[in-house]
Structure 1
Amino acid sequence: MAFDEFLGRIGWGETEEVAGEKLYLAQHTLLTQFPWLAEDLEVPPYARAVRVTHLGSAPITNVWLGPRGTVSPPHTDAYYNCYVQVVGTKWVWLAPRDADQGGAMAAWQADAADTYAGLMHNTSRRDVWAAPTCVDGAMQAVLQPGDLLYLPPHWWHAMHSLSRSFSVSFWF
């Protein structure tokens, strides 16, 4: 699918309304595909301050682009993350890394037919949107355009787009 077709199908064309299947561009290296877009982004000072990260000399930059209603289930990442909301709003759920004590977050148990079986080892099926305070220390916020959320490694987090949304993460 061409990128302009994708944008139209996720509500970035003439209308925000999306019909049919919900598409979501997640964890994509859009800036490698379209390098001139990087000129419009500034690496946050927090990520720039680290001379050499455990990932190399520069943060890994990923783009998240989708319509209203897209969801990233509760999961953890192994990296420090400066998550920037560029366009739209997102409801974010957070919990400390020790929130899984006693199996509260129970990792995703994929079956052999699950396409994402190899990718989802750090993901929970827990419905944090129905019970946001389901684990000790859990908190929530709504990110607005221009907000930056700092996520330490191994903290649980989930995202729910309240509108069409464009976000950038800087892992370091």
Structure 2
Amino acid sequence: MRHILIRSGDVEIRARLLATPTADRIWNALPISGSVRTWGKEVYFRTPVSHDLEPDARIVVSKGEIAFWPDGDAIAIGFGATPIAKRGEIRFTSKCNVWAVALDDVDQLKAVYPGERISVVEAANDDTETWAEEPAACPAGAVNRQHRARRSPQPVRHCASSDEGGSAG
């Protein structure tokens, strides 16, 4: 299973890649970095990747799904309403390919502002077996452990299990 880390400032979000052509293309382009843009409660940034729409591309996504916006060659992460959203949905301007699922709370993106640097790196393979496969399994307030991403020289944090001193919060 392939995992990535999305990082901007103090925000770090782990994600699991899906088995899609878009995920393959992004994986092969790592590391990727860009300048944050926002649109309502959406963070997006341009990438060196180009890809066509996949058959299951959609305009409305669920919280925690990470998408690729082919019209802008950008990674898009919605964490709430966008200016064109109907009540209770995350709606992009046009269809996007969902290629990953966040394992951490994407509400952290509220702390990311336009113009900040954002990066996507491959997570270290030796750490992925300790990662929860669902965001709910990594509660807010859990104690974090330090690990290193293979393609990044800086330490990254991820959720520790409750038997490692974590606490539900």
Which of the five TM-score ranges fits, normalised by the shorter chain? under 0.3
Structure 2 length as normaliser, TM-score? Answer: 0.23
Structure 1 length as normaliser, TM-score? Answer: 0.23
Which of 1 and 2 has greater Rg? 1
Larger RCO (CA under 8 A, 6+ residues apart): 1
Q: Whose strand fraction is larger, Structure 1's or Structure 2's?
A: 2
